[in-house]
Structure 1
Amino acid sequence: MTNYREILKKYWGYDDFRPMQEDIIKSVGEGKDTLGLLPTGGGKSITFQVPAMAKPGICLVVTPLIALMKDQVENLKKKGIKAYAVHSGLTGMEIQIAYDNCIYGGVKFLYLSPERLSTPVFLEKLQHLKVNLLAIDEAHCISQWGYDFRPGYLKIADVREHLPNVPVLALTATATPRVVDDIQEQLRFEKKNVFQKSFERTNLAYVVRKCEDKEGQLVKILSSVQGTAVVYVRNRKKTREYAEHLQKNGISADYFHAGLTQKVKDFRQQQWKSGACRVIVSTNAFGMGIDKPDVRIVVHMDAPDSLEAYFQEAGRAGRDEKKAYAVMLFSPADKMQLNKSVTTSFPEKEVIHKVYDSLCNFFQVAVGHGEGLVLDFNIGKFCTAFGFNILSVFNSLKILQRAGYLYYTEDSDIPSKVMMQMSDFELYKYQVANAKLDPFIKVLLRSYTGLFTEYASIDEDLLAQRLKVTRDDVYQALLTLSRAKVLHYIPQRRTPLITFLHRREELRHIVLAPEIYEQRQKEYRQRVDAVLEYATTTHICRSRLLLHYFGQGNSNNCGHCDVCLDRKKQNLTDDEFSKIEEAIYNTLNAEPISAESLTEKLSFAQDKTWKVIHWLEDVGAVSENQDGVMEWIGKR
């Protein structure tokens, strides 16, 4: 029997698996299609990396997150494991070399974006790959009912036809029961096979605070709860404003969003991880793949648009199993913003059609052409040229992406890359003949390995420092070497990308099917309503509300969220309060009666029953009509 623990210890340094990891690994090792639901920080990547290392061949990993792809590939390489990532930020030559190395070079992991799976180049190379496992990260994206549906994921099932007897491991941190069933159906599981860790986080206290002065409340919270913190906001501008506000109040803080350069992002991430910076204020761009166990508090300054997103982000607190807090600051403006987002997230179909047509004209793509094109995209310039609102364009692109016409990547930060084109002997002759460039070549070869077989990401600043020259000197030297065909140099670029997944269609042929538009709009509305219910309900334990949303009924009160703590002020035990509350609910559901009759009918001490009734009235769960009859109006 395969000793998975030996592999875990050898490459990852752990003596044992986290709960559920080994069960998932054994299921996959036995060749079974498997769906693993592990919460944020539950170690999902281990569940496909370990079994893939235990078998000959290569593991295909499908993920929509380019940043996460690159991080995991780098981490695997540091462990001495060969891995590649293929995505829209690479040149055709880079992709070709990556595929060839996967076929001939003993590579164990190939990370791909879902859109890549249907390309002719990949399908041709797939015939020569010995695949031992197909791993699907963020598997909820394949479900029409998932909060982040991506049509590219639907291609995965077709790829399975080329991979007979290769098991699939689908992984996600959040999924409702409906999504769990749909994932398995879409991926054509032979039989249902789900490993699900409970969504309950017993050490995490969920709190909703209703307030208008959010800045003041944030300072107050961070002053009373010590330790590392993440503060989530909805837009980039606010990240900087809140970080500066915290700094003015003596709290160590910095900001983070997708628009920063990779170097700045890496530095700020490292400062926060090391403890040099206590608080990071960020958009939802922060947190993916970052495993810092001692985060004591996560604060949401703005309400997210789904409980799936909230649960993932809040779940970054307290991974060390010690007491931690997840706080949402909520105001009437949040309710207005969430309701408004339903409209702004789904522009009128005429607007979407116009955006598509203008985009094709912007790039001068003719009808019947453009499939596979990857183009730098300046959304500001585009909006100015055609008179669009930037938010309408952004959301139109997302809908066109769901419909399978294009793929939009925001702010791709693509580092400079180099690969040698001359052989060792040719290079030696070139160095002898070009003494001025010899130092550049030597430092480049000493600084980076594998340059003769694959592209390596390079840092011009680091090379400049080692050569004691300016960054521009390095840039000019690399350009000269590239023109001389000594090497191929791809300078750093930082830009959003548009990938045309389909040839340009005439507008009358653009179809936004009900499941792409009307049904998604309805689902979005339901998710927004679930967030509003979570934020405004004041008589049901926060943890119970979340667990119920994810299909875990019959859960107990957590005892430490803001609702549970408020109940405890009645000087009743949690068990007493729950039993009286349940009895009141059952009685009023059977026959609405007056409060006096209710206290007489129930078998509990009347003073205790009155305490629960008054509390339920205060939080809006029960009310008395004009006839003095009590009714249950809250949710259960």
Structure 2
Amino acid sequence: MSYLDILHQYWGYPDFRGIQKDIIESIGSGKDTLGLMPTGGGKSITFQVPALAQEGVCLVITPLIALMKDQVDHLRQQGITAAAIYSGMRHDDIVSTLDNCSFGGIKLLYISPERIGSDLFQTKLRHIKVSFITVDEAHCISQWGYDFRPSYLQIENIRKLVPDAPILALTATATPDVVDDIQDRLGFKEKNVFRMSFERRNLAYVVRQTEDKDAEMVHILQSLPKTAIVYCRSRKRTKEIAKMLTEHGISATWYHAGLEPGVKDQRQNDWQTDKIRVMVATNAFGMGIDKPNVRVVIHIDCPSSLEAYFQEAGRAGRDGNKAYAVLLYNGNDRRTLQKRIEDTFPPKDYIQTVYEHLAYFYQIGVGSGYGCIFEFPIDKFCNTFKHFPIRVNAALTILQRAGYIDYELNPDTKARVRFLLNRDELYRLDSLSDKEDNIVTALLRNYGGLFSDNGYIDESYLGQEAGLDRNQTYMILTNLSKKRIINFIPRKNIPLISYTQDRIDGVDVVLSKEVYENRKEEFIKRINSVINYAQNERVCRSRQLLSYFGENKSTDCGQCDVCLSHTKEDDTNEKEQIRKQLLTLLEDGHKHAITEIRQLNDDWDLVQQVMREMILEEEILLDGSFLLLP
């Protein structure tokens, strides 16, 4: 079956779009391939179609758990065998899924980068026929990229286990340097890049200089009463801004990484289904979200890179209709952006001090600690040693990059349950509601050993077995715990720290040029790029962004704030020219017919506008269908 036949049969599209076919033919012929496609460019087709055309399993590595679940569901609805492996799954389910891949029962296996490093996965992979490996969000493997993730470095080891499988790397945001780095890190046999234009012709980029950002944001949202996203950098601010918008009659909610999973799901669903109009969020919101009718994305705070801005702004107007990306900016933003440099790369002696304080906090002696894992309550640590959380977080990130610790900021630790009653007493609990009874039954049916010890559970799977959503499951488990029927330890979002080598004295911590100076220099460049973009009122906004990503465009977009200001200047100059022509024509003191005036300029609408303004100012008089001087 040809690629086009597969596209017709499973997706019903008449033909491929843009560079989809080029990428498909390249990976289909066994070549390592990098595809640069902006958000909404149809990335998934480029690996799903060739996966169905080849023998074996297509391995899809992606950090977006919500996206992989959504894509697996859609593929299954189309009759395509797909599965996913991610944090929080039961061990038995992971084994079963991998065995199914070995027996040829799966065509596409989605997996998070954190899971590919496990011994279980790597052992099973040796028995799986892999057609090719797809690396989504491939910029995450580049240490020069804006969103580097250490877990992506494991992909190099996976390549060695299946050396004959080519790699398809996909990203929507990569500068020319990052494009080269992605191919080097993934071990491309030869350079092979397909680029789709990053231009979004329906998206108007606007930088609004304002001292009162809140008032400007309210004005924009009231002027454009459609679906919107507002991005800010502080979790606390998301709640404050959402409440302020609600007080102004604008339906809004807030979203950040610290919310409970059930709350996140509910708020995202309310916004997706248009029950809520505006989502106020940190950058934790949006990855994998495909809502086509977002009409405006507002950044009330500046992001730290144009890569992040382009990706977040690009969530507007995916339906192809006119949309706006607005960055609110004032003099304070420049200082705030420059302060982020020091916050993200604190002095080396400060990083050494944090390393030393970490050892005091956990009472780790010199020469010990290797392999030890600890929960990291950052607020308690900062209170104990008089640090600021932002700088501590940055110091730990750099220590991780240097190889001294592993710092997992958002671990997906599982919930745990233990029954406090013995098995015989459970059947005498006739006071349980139907939903509570369903949860107890699901626990007994799916998990063993819960009467003797705390056992790990998957709340999503448990809810599915009991016919409930994740939020309901969480509430029922909490209620059962209050009734002393079970001991329920909820899933935690608390960071984890593990020592990847024995502790040394803080003064002996070495931060190499590659780990510190080089990366700091790259970060400074990204910060300066954001400042330059916000302050450059001479060059078309779209052209500025395209140039940053290595795409040179000679024509202006004609719809950003810079282009519109140029148009306004041009109109002003042309109007002044028409005014002078009218006065010169009427200097002879005679009446001149409107038909004669029409010959002055091809733009009759503009001529009429100038005439009306001059009549109002009494520079000229209108007598029937004739003009004359007063």
Interval of TM-score (by shorter of Structure 1 and Structure 2): 0.7 to 0.9
- Which segment is superposed worse, 136-145 or 357-366? 357-366
C-alpha displacement of 1:144: 3.1
* 1:144-195 residue CA offsets vs partner (Å, 9 max, x unmatched): 3212233443332343222122010111111111211221122121222112
CA positional deviation for 1:197: 1.0
* Aligned position for 1:316: 315
C-alpha distance 18-499 of structure 1, shift in aligned 2 (>3 A): farther
Q: Which residue of 1 aligns with 2:83?
A: 83
Cα 1:165/1:468, change in 2 over 3 Å: closer
Residues 171-223 of structure 1 show CA distances to partners (whole Å, capped at 9, x for unaligned) of 11111112112211221212221121101111111111111101110111111
C-alpha spacing 1:91/1:345, structure 2 compared with 1 (3 Å): farther
Q: CA deviation at 1:30?
A: 1.7
Residue 630 of structure 1 is matched in structure 2 by none
**Structure 2 CA distance for partners of 1:132 and 1:243, relative to 1, 3 Å:** same
Contact residue 345 and residue 395 of structure 1 kept, 8 A: yes
**Change over 3 Å in CA distance of 1:214–1:179 after alignment to 2:** same
CA spacing shift, 1:316–1:222, aligned 2, 3 Å: same
CA distance in 1, matches of 2:208, 2:381: 40
Residue 272 (structure 1) aligns with: 271
- Give 1:319 deviation, angstroms: 0.8
Deviations 1:561-596 (A, max 9, x none): 001101111335999xxxxxxxxxxxxxxxxxxxxx
- After superposition, give the CA deviation of every residue in 1:519-565 in whole Å (9 maximum; x if it has no partner): 11001101111111100011111111111111111431000100110
Please report how far the alpha carbon of residue 505 of structure 1 lies from its aligned counterpart in structure 2 after TM superposition.
4.0
In 1, distance between residues paired with 2:474 and 2:113? 42
User: For the residues of structure 2 that align with 1:469 and 1:304, how far apart are their CA atoms?
Assistant: 34
Aligned position for 1:6:
6
Corresponding residue for residue 39 of structure 1 = 38
TM-score normalised to structure 2 length = 0.77
Pick closer, same or farther for the CA change 1:352–1:303 going to 2, 3 Å.
same
Structure 1 CA distance, aligned partners of 2:74 and 2:350? 43
Task: Kindly provide the amino acid, as one letter, of the partner of residue 568 in structure 1.
Answer: T
**SS of alignment partner, residue 352 of structure 2:** helix
Moved more, 70-79 or 169-178: 70-79
Q: Is the aligned partner of 1:500 residue 2:498?
A: yes
Cα separation, 1, equivalents of 2:370 and 2:102: 26
C-alpha distance in 1, partners of 2:123/2:468?
A: 43
Residue matched to 2:257: 258
Q: CA 1:506 to 1:473, structure 2 compared with 1: closer, same or farther past 3 Å?
A: closer
Within 5 Å, which residues of 2 pair with 1:196-211? Answer: 196-211=195-210
The Cα shift of 1:228 comes to 0.7
CA distance in 1 between counterparts of 2:106 and 2:46 reads: 18
Shift of 1:16: 4.9
Aligned match of 2:228: 229
Q: Taking every aligned residue pair, what percent have the same amino acid on both sides?
A: 48
**Matched letter for residue 83 of structure 2:** A
Q: What residue number does 2:292 align with?
A: 293
Q: 1:292 to 1:501 in 2, by over 3 A?
A: farther
- C-alpha distance in structure 1 between counterparts of 2:475 and 2:263, whole Å: 20
Residue 457 of structure 1 corresponds to which residue in structure 2? 460
1-structure distance, mates of 2:233, 2:86 = 30
> What residue number does 2:549 align with?
550
- Hey, what does 1:63 align to over in structure 2? 62
Between stretches 320-329 and 462-471, larger displacement belongs to: 462-471
Could you tell me how far apart the structure 2 residues matched to 1:444 and 1:408 are? 35
3-state SS of 1:336 partner: helix
Is contact 1:407-1:499 (8 Å) kept? yes
Amino acid in structure 2 at the alignment position of 1:28: I
Q: Which residue of 2 aligns with 1:126?
A: 125
Query: What's the secondary structure of 1:140's corresponding residue?
Result: helix
Q: Distance in 2 between matches of 1:574 and 1:186?
A: 54
Q: Residues 112 and 408 of structure 1: is their aligned pair in 2 closer, same or farther, counting only changes over 3 Å?
A: farther
**1:471 alignment counterpart:** 476
Contact 1:9–1:15 (CA<8 Å) still a contact in 2? no
**1:225–1:464 CA distance, 2 compared to 1 (3 A):** closer
The structure-2 alpha-carbon separation of the partners of 1:516 and 1:494, relative to structure 1 and needing over 3 Å to count, comes to same
Give the partner amino acid of 1:338: L
Q: Which residue of 2 aligns with 1:195?
A: 194
1:59-458 aligned at under 5 Å gives the runs 59-66=58-65, 68-69=67-68, 72=71, 81-87=81-87, 99=98, 102-103=101-102, 106-114=105-113, 116-360=115-359, 362-363=361-362, 375-412=374-411, 443=438, 457-458=460-461
Closer/same/farther in 2, CA of residues 56 and 543 from structure 1, 3 Å limit: same
Change in 2 beyond 3 A, CA 1:110/1:513: farther
- Return closer, same or farther for 1:6/1:503 CA change in 2, 3 Å cut-off: same
Q: Measured at CA, do residues 567 and 470 of structure 1 come closer, stay the same or move farther in structure 2, by a change above 3 Å?
A: closer
Question: 2:376, 2:494 within 8 Å by CA — same for their partners in 1?
Answer: yes
How many angstroms does 1:385 deviate by? 3.4
SS of corresponding position for 1:545: helix
Q: Are the equivalent residues in 2 in contact too, given 1:229–1:297 (CA < 8 A)?
A: yes
Contact 2:442 2:465 in 1 (8 A): no
How many corresponding residue pairs? 556
Match of 2:570, SS state, is coil
CA distance in structure 2 between the partners assigned to 1:322 and 1:444 by the alignment = 46
Contact 1:461 1:471 (8 Å CA) reproduced: no
Q: How many Å apart are 1:54 and its aligned residue?
A: 3.5
What amino acid sits opposite 2:186 in the alignment? L
3-state SS in 2 of match to 1:208: strand
Distance 1:344 1:416 in 2: 34
CA shift digits 1:54-91 (9 cap, x unpaired)? 3333333333455555555566566664423244x568
Compute the displacement of 1:254 (Å). 1.1
| Counterpart Cα distance in 1 of 2:348 and 2:169 | 33
Q: Which amino acid aligns with 2:149?
A: R
Q: Is the 8 A contact 2:58 2:132 kept in 1?
A: yes
Q: Distance in 2 between matches of 1:574 and 1:137?
A: 50
Q: 1:445 to 1:308 in 2, by over 3 A?
A: same
CA gap 1:120/1:366 in 2 versus in 1, 3 angstroms: farther
Moved more, 157-166 or 119-128: 119-128
Choose 1 or 2 for highest CA Rg: 2
TM-superposed deviation, 1:365: 5.8
Report the aligned-residue RMSD: 4.1
| Partner in structure 2 of residue 487 of structure 1 | none
Q: What is aligned with 2:628?
A: none
Q: Quote how far apart the aligned CAs of 1:436 are.
A: 5.8
**Structure 1 CA distance, aligned partners of 2:426 and 2:266?**
40
8 Å CA contact 2:83, 2:97 repeated in 1: no
Residue 510 of structure 1, CA deviation = 4.0
Q: Which residue of 2 aligns with 1:585?
A: none
| Aligned-residue offset at 1:384 | 2.6
SS class of match (1:569): helix
- Distance (Å, rounded) in 2 between the aligned partners of 1:541 and 1:340: 28
Post-superposition offset of 1:293: 0.8
Distance 1:473 1:160 in 2: 44
Find the aligned partners of 1:37 and 1:222 in 2 and give their Cα distance: 32
- 1:119 shift after superposition: 4.8
Q: Deviations over 1:262-300 (max 9, x none)?
A: 111111111111111111111111110000111110111
Q: Which moved more, 1:252-261 or 1:344-353?
A: 344-353
- Output the amino acid matched with 2:384: A
What is residue 622 of structure 2 aligned with on the other side?
none
What is the rounded CA distance, in whole Å, between the counterparts of 2:183 and 2:475 in structure 1?
A: 55
User: Structure 2 vs 1, CA of residues 181 and 377 (structure 1 numbering), >3 Å: closer, same or farther?
Assistant: same
For 1:98 and 1:44, the matched residues in 2 are separated by: 25
Please give the TM-score of this superposition, normalised by the length of structure 1.
0.76
Give the stretch that moved more between structures: 64-73 or 165-174.
64-73
**Shift of the alpha carbon at 1:33?**
0.7
Alignment-derived partner of residue 582 in structure 1? none
Do the aligned residues in 1 keep the contact of 2:463 with 2:473 (CA within 8 Å)?
Answer: no
Q: Which amino acid aligns with 1:457?
A: S
Give the 3-state SS of the residue equivalent to 1:56 in structure 2.
coil
Q: Take 1:142 and 1:227, find their aligned partners in 2: how far apart are those partners?
A: 36
